Structure 1
Amino acid sequence: MSRPLAVAITGGIGAGKSTTLECFRRHGAATVSSDEIVHHLLATDPDVKRALVERLGEEVLGADDAPDRERIAVRVFKDPEALDFLEKLLHPLVSREYMAWREQLGTLPDPPAVCVTEVPLLFEVGADERFDKVVVITAPTKLREARRGGRKDDRESRLIPDREKVTRADFSYVNTGTPDELDAWVAGVMTTLAGAGPAPKTSRLPRDALSPGRRSST
């Protein structure tokens, strides 16, 4: 059994990880998002539901009696201990589901060459060791806040700085350009992963982010 090359996308909140994941899908990679996996767990795993109700209360259940992501978010937003509980509950399960998905891809008659997922806390939880390659997506703080509707996010203070993530990545991109520019960069990464071309152009990371639309690889 030959499994696909495993690639993780990570980066700050609002940097464009999900958009990048979609670009990889368009260019032939098998993809799954952490959000998809979490949604599946909340909808189908009775142990997850039980743990959430015991720790956070029945207020996190929706009209269908299943855990509701928006209600959970409201409950943990200003409660660091509750957020820590949620992450410790879900991260191992998300990893388990991802690994099962990845191994299943390898059993297909014609398995994909590359599989990609986005992992928001990749370096923070030490999950980078599970992947063959890491892609870091960055953007200036003000732009990321604008993408979130002008809202700041207290979780940012708990994340490893972008500059350090870039030094640990195999590929990095500053997502300040157009969607087409991002898509073209991803196409170049896919070509490199297939061994058919050079790595995307290298750029330096200034104080807050690279210059608009620039790329880097390490």
Structure 2
Amino acid sequence: MPKRSSVLEVGITGGIGAGKSVVCEIFKSLGIPIYDADSRSKWLLGNDEKLKHQLKETFGAKAFTPDDLLNRIFLAEEVFHNPQQLEKLNRLVHPRVGEDYEDWVKQHQAAPYVLKEAALLIEAGSYRRLDFLITVNAPEDLRIERIKARDPQRSMEQIAAIIKKQLSEEERQEIADFVIDNSGTRLLIPQVVKLHRFFCEKGKR
């Protein structure tokens, strides 16, 4: 598909607990705009009128509370163990997030490059529209420890179910152009700075 903008677009992904957000904070400190697709999708689910209407049509009135707030508990129960329902939700959300991202990119044409952060960037297929893809890598046992520390409300069963739904580290690395090692054995900042310089140079062309 044709490229939408003149600015260099870089994707960053990784399994839950890999440390995407930490890496993005380093890029952000270097002045690079970050589009957090996961946060924006949550915002759009509860605030975009077109998407809200589609959710009500697809999942019924219970998708929203009487105060017209997104019923996240109901929706999670509907889709978490039901692949067909999850596919319906993704078919509604992913295109809208894509449109929102395109609008955001238009506002950052002067940047050296932009970063799109998303846990399911590869699974959703949206990485194909980007110039480069980074994956943040960490061993599964370390990722689990990070998740437990960050989200103590999650059970091991929930954590295992989330990891199972995502691609393996090996699958991500086969597709990604660059791998950032966040296992704790290498410093993060030098890895990010090296990529930053590369992308800045590519963005000038």
Same fold, TM-score > 0.5, yes or no:
yes
Instruction: Tell me if structure 1 keeps the 8 A contact 2:10–2:131.
Output: yes
Task: Identify the residue that residue 185 of structure 1 maps to in structure 2.
Answer: 191
Partner of 2:64: 61
- Structure 1 residue aligned with 2:83: 80
Distance 2:62 2:160 in 1: 23
Overall identity of the aligned pairs, in %: 32
Separation of aligned partners in 1, 2:181 and 2:73? 29
Displacement of 1:131 in angstroms is 0.7
* Corresponding position: 1:167 with 2:166: no
Give SS of 2:187's match. helix
Q: Which has the higher helix share?
A: 2
- Taking CA–CA contacts closer than 8 Å with sequence separation of 6 or more, which of the two structures ends up with the larger relative contact order? 2
Distance, in Å, in 2 between the alignment partners of 1:147 and 1:66 is: 30
The answer for the alignment partner of 1:113 in structure 2 is 112
The separation in 1 between residues aligned to 2:138 and 2:26, in whole angstroms, is 17
Q: CA deviation at 1:177?
A: 1.6
Structure 1, gaps ≥5 residues long: 197-218
Q: CA deviation at 1:102?
A: 0.8
Over 3 Å counting, the alpha-carbon distance change for 1:56 and 1:97 in structure 2 is same
Aligned length: 190
Cα deviation digits, residues 3-50 of structure 1 (max 9, x gap): 321010011122112222222111111111012321331232222212
Q: Which amino acid aligns with 2:19?
A: G
- Cα contact 1:29–1:115 (8 A) shared by 2: yes
Give the alignment of 1:8-87 within 5 angstroms: 8-62=11-65, 64-87=67-90
Contact 2:38–2:118 under 8 Å retained in 1: no
Whole-angstrom CA distance in 1 between matches of 2:26 and 2:107: 22
SS of the residue corresponding to residue 51 of structure 1 reads helix
Contact 1:42–1:66 (Cα < 8 Å) also in 2: no
Corresponding letter in the other structure for 1:50: H
Partner of 2:106: 103
* In structure 2, C-alpha distance between the alignment counterparts of 1:58 and 1:142, rounded to whole Å: 40
Q: Match for 1:28: what amino acid?
A: G
One of 157, 161, 177 as aligned partner of 2:164: 157
Q: Which blocks of at least 5 consecutive residues in structure 2 are unaligned?
A: 149-154
> Amino acid of the residue matched to residue 139 of structure 2?
P
What code does the residue aligned with 2:79 have?
V
**For the Cα contact (< 8 Å) 2:63–2:71, is it kept in 1?**
yes
